[in-house]
C-alpha cells in the first residue's frame, strides 16, 4: 500500500482517484474492496448503555426551539435558554435523576446520558440545565435529607424554584476546603448566619445567580460553639417572587464571557443573612438546637471528600458532553474534507479532495480515533456512576474508584475538545471561521469545560496521588523478603531498559522489513505493554523520589512534592490515556461483525500508536523502543490513515447525527453541489471549444 505521505508524480491509473498524483486510495468504503463497518451497529456501540435515552434526547432537540441562534444579544440568549429549560420540563427532561415520589424517574445513568446530548442543541442549554438539576437540585437531593426533599425537590424539578450552586469563590476555586464564606450557628435563635467576610469570599461564576435564581445551595465553613467543622452546604433563599434580592443578599452580573452567554453567571455575597437551622443539608453532618455538632463520619477529611464526591456527576457529564461536541466538530470537518476540492496537478485534472491529502488525513483521523476511545471510556464511566448512585454498587471503594475515574477522564476529553475543534476549524479554512458552521461557537462554549467542576491539572493531581497510594498499598505489611525481591526486580528493570538490552532485541528483529516488524511488533499486546509500562515506571520513579519526604519536615516535604508535581500530573494523564485505550479495546471485543471489528481495530491501533508517537522521546530515553522501531511508528501511522481514509465518512456517520443536530452548511451537501457545479461548468466549457488557452500553452 502506498504511503499516505508520498504522492506519485505519475498520473494515476486508478479511476477512483484524480490524475496527477493524488494518493491511490479509494474515496469510499464501497470502492475500497475491504471490510466495511456496520454503521448502525457502531452507532449503537457509541451511544452505549443508554442508547435509547440518547436517541430520545436527540429526537427532542430536533425541535428548532432548542437550537442556538447565532448573533443573539446576551440578554436575548439568556431568555431563550430559560425558555428551553421550560421545554425540557415539558418533555420530562428534568425528572430522570430524582426519586419517583417527587415525580422523578430514578434513573441516574439515563439522566446523564440524555443531558450530554443537549450540547448538540446549545452548550448553554446543557450547562444551565446542569446547574439547575445536576448541581442545585442534586445538592439538595444528595446532601440533604427527607425534610429537604419534601420541601424543595418538586419545585426544583418543575423549575418553579430555579437555583444556583454557590461553591466557587473569587478567591478559591478548586481549593474548596479553604473557602471564606462562614455559617455561624446562633443557638439563641436556632439560626445559621451566612456571611462573606471579605471580597475574595464572594461566590462567583455561578449559573442562575445573575438573574433567575430564587435560592442557592451555599457552601460555607460551619462554625458552632467556637469550632470550625469544615465546609458544609446550606439552602439559602436569594430573591423574592419579583426577582429582587432578599435583605442581606447582594450580587453582580458576570457580564459577557468567552462563551456560554446563554447562562446568567454572576456573583453573590451575604451580609449576616440568617437562615433556619434546618436549612443545613445534613446528610453527612448536623447541628442540634443547642449547637452540638454530630456526624457519622468522624474524620473531617473523609467527611469533606464524601460530600464533594456526592456531586461527581458534573465531571462525568462534562466528559461525555465534551466528547459529543468534539464528535460534532469532526463530523463537520471530515464531511467537508470528503467534498471540498483544492489544487490540481497542473495538468488540467480535477482538483483533489482534501481528504486525499496525507497531511489532511494526519490532522483529522488520529483525532477521530481519540474521540472513539472517549465514547467507549465515557460509557464505562457512566455505568460506574449509575452503579454507585443507583445503589447497586454503592460502597466507599466504588465511590473512590468513580471519583478517580472521572478525575482521570474529564481532563483528557475537555482538553481534546479544544485541540480537535481548533484543528477542525483550521482544516475547514475560511468556511470554518463562519459562525454558521458552528466550529468557532463550539470552541468558545467548550473552552471553560477545562475549568468547570475542577481545574484539569488539579484533577489529574488527585489521580496521581491515588496512583501513588495504590502503589504504596502493594508493600503495606510486606516482609523484608518481599521488599528485597521488589528492589531486585526494580534494579533489573533499570538495567534492562537503561542499558539498551530491549533496544538490542528490537533492533535484531527489525533487520528485516521495518514496516512488517512494526506492524507485528506494535499490535494490541505491545501497545498495551508500552502504555501500561509507561504509567507503572513513572509512578514507581516518582514514589522513589518522594520517599525522603516521609522523614522530612513539613516545608521540606512540600518542596519535594512540588519538585515532582509536574511529572505526577503527566503520569496521571498517561493513566487516563491507558484507560481510554483499554475501553476502546473492550468495545472492539464486543463487536460481532468481522468487517466492523477489523476497521475498528485499525482505528484503535491509530489511537494507540498516536499516543506512543506523542511520547516517543520518553520511550526512547527509557529504552522501551529501539531507534529503528521508533522511526517506523510515524510511517505506520501514515499507513493506517491511508487504510482508514475510505472509511472516514462511515465512521463519522456512525455518530448518528441528524441534519438537525449538525446545522452546519458546509456539512450539509452544499459543498458537493458547489463542486459538481464548478466541474460541470469547466467540462462544458472545454467541450464547447470556447475555453481560453492558458498562458503557458500559448507560449509553446
Mean pLDDT computed over every residue of the chain: 89
Highest mean pLDDT among 80-94, 308-322, 498-512, 662-676: 80-94
- The pLDDT score that the predictor gives to residue 348 is 58
Average pLDDT over residues 375-386: 96
Give the domain ranges of the chain: 46-158, 165-300, 313-459, 490-653
CB neighbours (10 Å) of residue 541?
A: 16
Q: Quote the pLDDT of residue 475.
A: 67
Which pLDDT tens digit goes with each residue over 102-156? 999 999 999 999 999 999 999 999 999 999 999 999 999 999 999 999 999 999 9
Q: Taking the complete model, does pTM exceed 0.85, yes or no?
A: yes
**490-653 and 313-459 share a CATH fold:** yes
Predicted local confidence at residue 58, as pLDDT: 98
Helices 358-390, 594-614: axis angle to 10 degrees equals 100
- Provide mean pLDDT across the span 494-502: 38
Segment 233-260 mean pLDDT: 97
User: Where residue 59 falls among pLDDT bands split at 50, 70, 90?
Assistant: very high
First to last CA, the chain: 38
Could you tell me which CATH number the domain at 165-300 has?
2.40.110.10
Portion of the chain with pLDDT greater than 90, in percent: 74
Position 193 scores a pLDDT of: 98
pLDDT of residue 694: 79
CA distance linking residue 77 with residue 18, whole number of Å: 46
SS3 223: strand
> What's the CA gap between 92 and 604, in Å, rounded?
37
Residue partners of 501: CB distance under 8 A and separation at least 6: 495, 623
The answer to whether domain 490-653 has CATH 1.10.1740.10 is no
Domain 313-459 CATH superfamily? Butyryl-CoA Dehydrogenase, subunit A, domain 3 (1.20.140.10)
Other CB atoms within 10 A of residue 241 CB: 6
The pLDDT value given to residue 522: 83
Tell me the pLDDT band of 369, cut-offs 50, 70 and 90: very high
**Topology of domain 46-158, CATH:** Butyryl-Coa Dehydrogenase, subunit A; domain 1 (1.10.540)
pLDDT score, position 502 = 41
pLDDT (mean) for 278-299: 96
Query: Does residue 4 carry a pLDDT above 50?
Result: no
Q: Kindly state the average pLDDT of the residues 171-176.
A: 88
Average pLDDT of span 188-198: 98
Amino acid at each position: 500500500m502506498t504511503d499516505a505521505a508520498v504522492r506519485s508524480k505519475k498520473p494515476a491509473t486508478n479511476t477512483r482517484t484524480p490524475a496527477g498524483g493524488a494518493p491511490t486510495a479509494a474515496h469510499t468504503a464501497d470502492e475500497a474492496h475491504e471490510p466495511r463497518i456496520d454503521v448502525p451497529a457502531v452507532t449503537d456501540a457509541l451511544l452505549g448503555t443508554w442508547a435509547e435515552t440518547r436517541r430520545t434526547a436527540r429526537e427532542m432537540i430536533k425541535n428548532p426551539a432548542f437550537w442556538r441562534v447565532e448573533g443573539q444579544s446576551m440578554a436575548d440568549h439568556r431568555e431563550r435558554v430559560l425558555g428551553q429549560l421550560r421545554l425540557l420540563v415539558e418533555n420530562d427532561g428534568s425528572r430522570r435523576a430524582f426519586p419517583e415520589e417527587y415525580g422523578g424517574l430514578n434513573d441516574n445513568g439515563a439522566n446523564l446520558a440524555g443531558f450530554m446530548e443537549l450540547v448538540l442543541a446549545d452548550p448553554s442549554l446543557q450547562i444551565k440545565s446542569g446547574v439547575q438539576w445536576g448541581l442545585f437540585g442534586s445538592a439538595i437531593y444528595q446532601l440533604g435529607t427527607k425534610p429537604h426533599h419534601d420541601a424543595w425537590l418538586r419545585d426544583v424539578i418543575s423549575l418553579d424554584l430555579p437555583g444556583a450552586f454557590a461553591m466557587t469563590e473569587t478567591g478559591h476555586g478548586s481549593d474548596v476546603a479553604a473557602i471564606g464564606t462562614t455559617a455561624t450557628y446562633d443557638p439563641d435563635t436556632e439560626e445559621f448566619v451566612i456571611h462573606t467576610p471579605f471580597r475574595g469570599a464572594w461566590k462567583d461564576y455561578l449559573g442562575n445567580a445573575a438573574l433567575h435564581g430564587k435560592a442557592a445551595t451555599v457552601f460555607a465553613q460551619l462554625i458552632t460553639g467556637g469550632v470550625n467543622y469544615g465546609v458544609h452546604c446550606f439552602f439559602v433563599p436569594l430573591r423574592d417572587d419579583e426577582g429582587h434580592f432578599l435583605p442581606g443578599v447582594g450580587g453582580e452580573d458576570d457580564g459577557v464571557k468567552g462563551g456560554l452567554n446563554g447562562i446568567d453567571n454572576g456573583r453573590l455575597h451575604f451580609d449576616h443573612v440568617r437562615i433556619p437551622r434546618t436549612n443545613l443539608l445534613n446528610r453527612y453532618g448536623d447541628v442540634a438546637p443547642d449547637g452540638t455538632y454530630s456526624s457519622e463520619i468522624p474524620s473531617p477529611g473523609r467527611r469533606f471528600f464524601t460530600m464533594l464526591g456526592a456531586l461527581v456527576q458534573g465531571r462525568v457529564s462534562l466528559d461525555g458532553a465534551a466528547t459529543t461536541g468534539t464528535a460534532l466538530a469532526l463530523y463537520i470537518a471530515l464531511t467537508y474534507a470528503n467534498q471540498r476540492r483544492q489544487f490540481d496537478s497542473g495538468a488540467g485534472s480535477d482538483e483533489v479532495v482534501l481528504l486525499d491529502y496525507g497531511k489532511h488525513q494526519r490532522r483529522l483521523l488520529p483525532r477521530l480515533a481519540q474521540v472513539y476511545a472517549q465514547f467507549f471510556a465515557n460509557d464505562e464511566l457512566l455505568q460506574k456512576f449509575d452503579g454507585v448512585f443507583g445503589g447497586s454498587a454503592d460502597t466507599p471503594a466504588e465511590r473512590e474508584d468513580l471519583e478517580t475515574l472521572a478525575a482521570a477522564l474529564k481532563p483528557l476529553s475537555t482538553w481534546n475538545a479544544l485541540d480537535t475543534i481548533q484543528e477542525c476549524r483550521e482544516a475547514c479554512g475560511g468556511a470554518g471561521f463562519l459562525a454558521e458552521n458552528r466550529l468557532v461557537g463550539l470552541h468558545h462554549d467548550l473552552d471553560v469545560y477545562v475549568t468547570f467542576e475542577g481545574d484539569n491539572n488539579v484533577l489529574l493531581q488527585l489521580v496521581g496521588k491515588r496512583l501513588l497510594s495504590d502503589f504504596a498499598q502493594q508493600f503495606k505489611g510486606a516482609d523484608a523478603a518481599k521488599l528485597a525481591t521488589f528492589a531486585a526486580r526494580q534494579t533489573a528493570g533499570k538495567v534492562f531498559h537503561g542499558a539498551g538490552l530491549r533496544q538490542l532485541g528490537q533492533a535484531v528483529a527489525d533487520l528485516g522489513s521495518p514496516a512488517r516488524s512494526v506492524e507485528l511488533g506494535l499490535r494490541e499486546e505491545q501497545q498495551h505493554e508500552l502504555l501500561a509500562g509507561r504509567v507503572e515506571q513513572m509512578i514507581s520513579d516518582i514514589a522513589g523520589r518522594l520517599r525522603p519526604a516521609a522523614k522530612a519536615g513539613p516545608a521540606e516535604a512540600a518542596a519535594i512534592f512540588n519538585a515532582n508535581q509536574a511529572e505526577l500530573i503527566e503520569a496521571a494523564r498517561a493513566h487516563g490515556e491507558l484507560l481510554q485505550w483499554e475501553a476502546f479495546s473492550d468495545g472492539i471485543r464486543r463487536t460481532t461483525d468481522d468487517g466492523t471489528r477489523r476497521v475498528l481495530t485499525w482505528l484503535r491501533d491509530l489511537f494507540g500508536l498516536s499516543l506512543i508517537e506523542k511520547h516517543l522521546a520518553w520511550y526512547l530515553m527509557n529504552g522501551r523502543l529501539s531507534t529503528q522501531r521508533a522511526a517506523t511508528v510515524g510511517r505506520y501511522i501514515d499507513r493506517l490513515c491511508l487504510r482508514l481514509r475510505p472509511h472516514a465518512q462511515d465512521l463519522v456517520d456512525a455518530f448518528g447525527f441528524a441534519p438537525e443536530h449538525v446545522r452546519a452548511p458546509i456539512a450539509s451537501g452544499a459543498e458537493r453541489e458547489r463542486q459538481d457545479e464548478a466541474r460541470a461548468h469547466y467540462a462544458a466549457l472545454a467541450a464547447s471549444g470556447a475555453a481560453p488557452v492558458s498562458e503557458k500553452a500559448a507560449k509553446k
